[in-house]
Structures are given as structure tokens and as C-alpha cells.
């Protein structure tokens, strides 16, 4: 009981401060993007669902590319929401003093890695292992 092994590699709150700023900036930027994507994807659905045939595209090719574009926006939106959840979780980990420790092995995540992906929860070794697992 007592010491939590999983947070041995964690950064202190003051060490994590620059990443806190980055995460907050990233979060607000992504929220803006997400609203924009959701808006443009849903607007299109709404006008199609309204059944206003006079506004429907005539050529099949147009319909195809329209659907593709909508699907693309929604996929992008889903990916952004996953990232947003990771950002929120990273912010919570800074708050609880666990930030910077790999959730898999507890090792300290290198600053160069956090600079590139401030919301990552895995060190480079665990991340590449997980990558291989999901691929195989
Ligand atoms: Zn690890």
C-alpha cells in the first residue's frame, strides 16, 4: 500500500505546465474544428432529409461525391472526438500528478515525445507494441 508504481515516471505539475498550455490550446482549437465539421456534415444531412427534391443534385456523380464528402467529415469528426477524449484525460492526469508516466509500463515518457503528442498516454516502446498488436 502507499506508493503508486504506475506514476513513478510522472512529471510534477510545474514540469507539466508547458504541456498543460499546449493541451488547452489544442483542445480549444479542436473544439472549434469539431463544431465546424459537425455543422457542415449535419447541415447536408438535414437538407437531404427534408426531401426538397428541387434542391437535389441531378447527376449521380454529384450524389456520390457528396456522400463521400459527408462520410469523410464524419470520420474525421470521430477521430477528433477520440483525440479530444485523450486530451481531456491528459489534462486530468496533469491535475492528479500522473502526467508523463506511461499507463502501460509506468516509465517516464520522453519530453520530445510529449512535445510531439502532448496527449499520449504511452511511451514510445509501448505505443509501437500496441501498434503491432492492432495490426497483427
Ligand atoms: Zn510504456
Say what the pLDDT of residue 128 is: 94
pTM of the model as a whole: 0.70
Gap from CA of 11 to ligand 1 centroid (Å): 15
Write the DSSP string, 56-97. S-SSHHHHHHHHHHHHHHHHHHHHHHHHHHHHHHHHHHHHTT
Q: What is the pLDDT of residues 39-94, one digit of tens each?
A: 877 777 666 655 555 555 555 555 556 677 888 888 888 888 899 999 999 999 99
Gap from CA of 66 to ligand 1 centroid (Å): 42
Gap from CA of 134 to ligand 1 centroid (Å): 16
In the chain, where are the structural domains located? 13-99, 100-135
Sign of CA dihedral 37, 43, 49, 51: negative
Gap from CA of 1 to ligand 1 centroid (Å): 22
Q: What is the pLDDT of residues 14-35, one digit of tens each?
A: 999 999 999 999 999 888 877 7
Say what the pLDDT of residue 53 is: 53
Gap from CA of 131 to ligand 1 centroid (Å): 13
Gap from CA of 119 to ligand 1 centroid (Å): 14
Cα separation, 33 vs 50, in Å, equals: 26
Amino acid at each position: 500500500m502507499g506508493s503508486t508504481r504506475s506514476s513513478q515516471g510522472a512529471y510534477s505539475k510545474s514540469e507539466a505546465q508547458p504541456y498543460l498550455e499546449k493541451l488547452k490550446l489544442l483542445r480549444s482549437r479542436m473544439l472549434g474544428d469539431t463544431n465546424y465539421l459537425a455543422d457542415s456534415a449535419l447541415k447536408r444531412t438535414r437538407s437531404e432529409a427534408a426531401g426538397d427534391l428541387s434542391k437535389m443534385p441531378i447527376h449521380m456523380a454529384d450524389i456520390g461525391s457528396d456522400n463521400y464528402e459527408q462520410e469523410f467529415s464524419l470520420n474525421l469528426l470521430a477521430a477528433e472526438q477520440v483525440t479530444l477524449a485523450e486530451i481531456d484525460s491528459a489534462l486530468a492526469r496533469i491535475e492528479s500528478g500522473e502526467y508523463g508516466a506511461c499507463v502501460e509500463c509506468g516509465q517516464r515518457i520522453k519530453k520530445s515525445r510529449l512535445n510531439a503528442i502532448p496527449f499520449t498516454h504511452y511511451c514510445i516502446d509501448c505505443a509501437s507494441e500496441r501498434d503491432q498488436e492492432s495490426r497483427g
